[in-house]
Amino acid sequence: MKKVKNSSIFGSTNEPHTIIIARGETIRHFTVRPWAALLGSTIALGLVGSYLLATSYLVFRDDLISGSVARQARLQQAYEDRIAALRTQLDRVTSRQLLDQKMMDGKVAELIQRQKALSERHDRLAPVLQRAEHAGTASQTEASTNLVMDRDGEDVVKSEDADGFYGIDPIITGPTTSTRKPAPHNDKAKTGVDKAELLDSVDHSLADIEARQSKQIQTLSNTAYESADKIMEALAATGVKPVIDDDKAGTGGPLLLASTNPTSGFDTKLADLDEALSKLESAKALAKAIPIANPAPGMPVSSPFGVRKDPLLGLMAFHSGMDFRAISGSLVLATANGTVTAADYNGGYGNMVEVDHGNGLSTRYGHMSQILVSVGQQVKAGDVLGRVGSTGRSTGPHLHYEVRKNGNAINPVGFLTIGRQIAAEL
């Protein structure tokens, strides 16, 4: 190889490398450029690196393959485990949804059944309520408006279908399309929690209706029993008693039906109400057959029952009735239900009407100017019998009124007092 020569003018210069190969008498030399040397070195290093890599691959190939396979197996197992977990979770959610749906369907069926029972109750209550209203107890407790819900009021039972919710009236069975706007179809409205809350609300509403029905029926029964007792206690002073079967005399107690039917509680209350109304109706019928009404309402008493000075002779005499001072032509009213047994002029009574009320009781109405009934006619309490006058043995227009028991005159004051006591019950 040649050395680097120094030049005084141009400085040092690099001469190309020369490789000399001598073999015997043959001498060869090669000139190697710097770039060729660099290229050769690079190629050589590349070959050596490739050789080393190939050797390493051959040596560690099995380990690399095994590790890769194991890693792939782990990834696959992880994916399979995740899929299995998701499938289990999906099955759990599906099962819960099916169970919730089944419970929801059962709850809806139960509510519809209860709603039908309420409808049946209403059908059974309707005639009883009419009796109660006629007897005068429903108006006191407002049962006619409280025992059933108004159809224009709040819907109570809801049933779900594919298009949303439809209202079911609390009394009329079967679904009826609601006039309200359907609820918005959002996720919250579709959740089982909201539906469960809705069904719970419906359940509470039905329970409230049932409780109010039972309470109002009980209130009606209590009112009917109390009214009947007051009437009978007041009528007891007249000595008239209702006809009671000897086998049932001296018996009683609260009504408790021997039944295991779930609706027996309602049946018991309904039967008790029916019995109470029957008792009240009987008491009122008996009261209307006893002369306790006023024959001349608002008119003053001018002469009481009993011994008095005769207005014509001035002698002490027995007055068999009581006189009501009234304007001539005023109406004379029947004091109880009965049958007209006399309707004609009768001596000192003048124009007189006599009414038989049964139970040995009868009433007489004298001195009338005009008779407006005939013998054999059926009259009711409050019916017009005639007009006030001054016929017969009389000093002026007035009504002579008598109450007779078994043909004997008795004081009408006691009957009129009883009438005032139970007027509110009648």
Q: Integer distance in angstroms from the first to the last C-alpha of the chain?
A: 151
Contact 344, 364 (CB under 8 A): no
pLDDT in tens, 111-150: 787 777 777 777 777 888 777 877 776 554 444 444 443 3
Please give the Cα distance from 399 to 385 (Å, whole number): 12
Please give the Cα distance from 369 to 387 (Å, whole number): 6
H-state helical runs in 236-263: none
Confidence of residue 11 (pLDDT cuts 50, 70, 90): low
Please choose, from the candidates 125, 104, 130, the residue with its C-alpha nearest in 3D space to the C-alpha of residue 210.
125
- Beta-carbon contacts of 325 under 8 Å, excluding residues fewer than 6 positions away, are 299, 300, 301, 302, 396, 397, 398
pLDDT in tens, 199-213: 777 777 777 777 887
> What does each C-alpha distance from 373 to 47, 58, 347, 356 come to in angstroms?
148, 139, 19, 14
Element (H, E) at 387: strand 384-388
Q: What is the pLDDT of residue 381?
A: 92
Q: What are the residues facing 401 on neighbouring strands? A: 322, 365
**Paired tokens of 86:** 């998701």
Element (H, E) at 39: helix 34-135
Please give the Cα distance from 278 to 298 (Å, whole number): 33
- Beta-carbon contacts of 39 under 8 Å, excluding residues fewer than 6 positions away, are none
Please choose, from the candidates 156, 158, 154, the residue with its C-alpha nearest in 3D space to the C-alpha of residue 107.
158
Please give the Cα distance from 210 to 70 (Å, whole number): 70
pLDDT over threshold 50, residue 286: yes
Between 196 and 408, the higher pLDDT residue: 408
Q: How far is CA 228 from the centre of its chain?
A: 30
Please give the Cα distance from 211 to 416 (Å, whole number): 42
Please choose, from the candidates 287, 290, 104, the residue with its C-alpha nearest in 3D space to the C-alpha of residue 195.
104
**SS3 (DSSP) at 264:** helix
Between 267 and 261, the higher pLDDT residue: 267
pLDDT over threshold 80, residue 416: yes
Between 35 and 386, the higher pLDDT residue: 386
Please give the Cα distance from 249 to 338 (Å, whole number): 27
pLDDT in tens, 335-344: 999 999 999 9
Please choose, from the candidates 173, 167, 171, 157, the residue with its C-alpha nearest in 3D space to the C-alpha of residue 125.
171
Please give the Cα distance from 30 to 10 (Å, whole number): 27
- Mean pLDDT of all residues belonging to the chain: 77
Q: What is the pLDDT of residue 36?
A: 77
State what percent of residues in the chain have pLDDT above 70.
75
- Average the pLDDT over each of 82-86, 159-163, 289-293, 331-335 and give the range with the smallest value: 159-163
pLDDT over threshold 70, residue 88: yes
- Beta-carbon contacts of 174 under 8 Å, excluding residues fewer than 6 positions away, are 168
pLDDT in tens, 152-170: 333 444 434 433 333 333 3
Contact 402, 409 (CB under 8 A): yes
pLDDT, mean of residues 2-20? 58
* Phi, psi of 312, deg, nearest 5: -100, -45
HSE-up of 69 (CA within 13 Å, CB side)? 6
Confidence of residue 380 (pLDDT cuts 50, 70, 90): very high
Please choose, from the candidates 371, 374, 369, 362, the residue with its C-alpha nearest in 3D space to the C-alpha of residue 402.
362
Q: What is the pLDDT of residue 131?
A: 78
Contact 341, 354 (CB under 8 A): yes
Confidence of residue 323 (pLDDT cuts 50, 70, 90): very high
Q: How far is CA 111 from the centre of its chain?
A: 12
Q: What is the pLDDT of residue 334?
A: 96
Please give the Cα distance from 345 to 367 (Å, whole number): 9
**Paired tokens of 298:** 């608002």
Contact 168, 155 (CB under 8 A): yes
Please give the Cα distance from 426 to 420 (Å, whole number): 10
